[in-house]
Amino acid sequence: MTYECVGKRTANPYYIEQLCLNIFSFEELLYFIKGNAYILDSSIINEKLFEFIGKELELPELYGQLKDLYRRDKGISDYVCTILAYGHYVNEEELENIRRIIEGNTDVRPFVRRISRGDFFFQNRTNVAAAEEYSAALAECDENDRRLPKVYHNLALIYAQSFLFRESASFFKKEWEMTKDQSALKNYLKTLKVGVSKEEFESEVLKADPDPDIFELAKQEINKAHDEASKEVSSLMDLQYRDRVGFVRKAEEMILSLKNEYRTV
């Protein structure tokens, strides 16, 4: 399916502060709205956005429609559906579904919206912001809420990517305790192994009393990762004596890869 481009691409984007996101074109706005209806509120859809649509994107007709809705004190769902309809970006069924989602947002508890925002940040690899939203949600929600395992899982991944393996292990453990999922248990053991001392690891394993097969599989994966890392370092050091130029190039590639991974955290 193809869409007709509408308006201009601006050099002065609409910045959504809560999501650390820049919108440069009408097509980007349509894509964002359709995919994130569950987090839209007056902090995102407001007069500032209308001005951006009218002046920066040069869509005066749509701007007039939105201002008329504003004068009549219409709600977020009316603004959003007007924008989507103007861009012919969704069909009638999709439009009504999005309207129902937005109108239902007013009944959604704050911590649920925080989790939704956390998911948005996590999916877009903005991990610091995701961790902040997830942590705030944990402080507000019931400890038995069905959404928690996913929050624990994503937080565990975020901390692991930051090399904070002890903290990562604690969230994998919480995920496992709630779900009894064997993959969560395996992840818990793996991150715990590299995050704590040998004595603490052995003590925690005794407390957890994991399935022997899962424990053995986790050990194998840890050893495999360790062996692969050791081989890569050994290969690099060997290259240092055989090919100085190649060594420098390979080292720079490894450093750049690590930097890029770090920047996504």
Return the domain boundaries, the chain: 14-105, 110-263
DSSP letter assigned to residue 38: G
Would you tell me how many other CB atoms lie within 10 Å of the CB of residue 233?
11
Average pLDDT over residues 248-262: 57
Q: What is the pLDDT of residue 106?
A: 63
Share of the chain above pLDDT 90, in %: 35
- pTM of this prediction? 0.61
Decide if pLDDT at 264 tops 50.
Answer: no
Average pLDDT over residues 155-161: 92
What is the band of 9 on the pLDDT scale with cuts at 50, 70, 90? confident
207-229 confidence digits (pLDDT tens) = 777 777 776 776 677 666 555 54
Q: Are 4 and 88 in contact (CB under 8 A)?
A: yes
Q: In whole angstroms, what is the distance from residue 220 CA to residue 190 CA? A: 10
User: Tokens at residue 170, please?
Assistant: 């604690």
79-120 confidence digits (pLDDT tens) = 999 999 999 888 999 998 888 888 876 656 788 888 888 888
Out of 8-12, 19-23, 239-243, 259-263, least confident range? 259-263
Q: In whole angstroms, what is the distance from residue 36 CA to residue 141 CA? A: 22
Q: What is the pLDDT of residue 13?
A: 94
Decide if pLDDT at 172 tops 90.
Answer: yes
Mean pLDDT of the chain: 81
Topology, domain 110-263: 1.25.40
Alpha-helical (H) ranges within the chain are 26-35, 47-51, 60-71, 76-86, 92-105, 110-123, 127-140, 148-161, 165-179, 182-195, 198-208, 212-242, 244-263
Q: In whole angstroms, what is the distance from residue 265 CA to residue 181 CA? A: 26
Supply the Cα-derived Rg of the chain in whole angstroms: 24
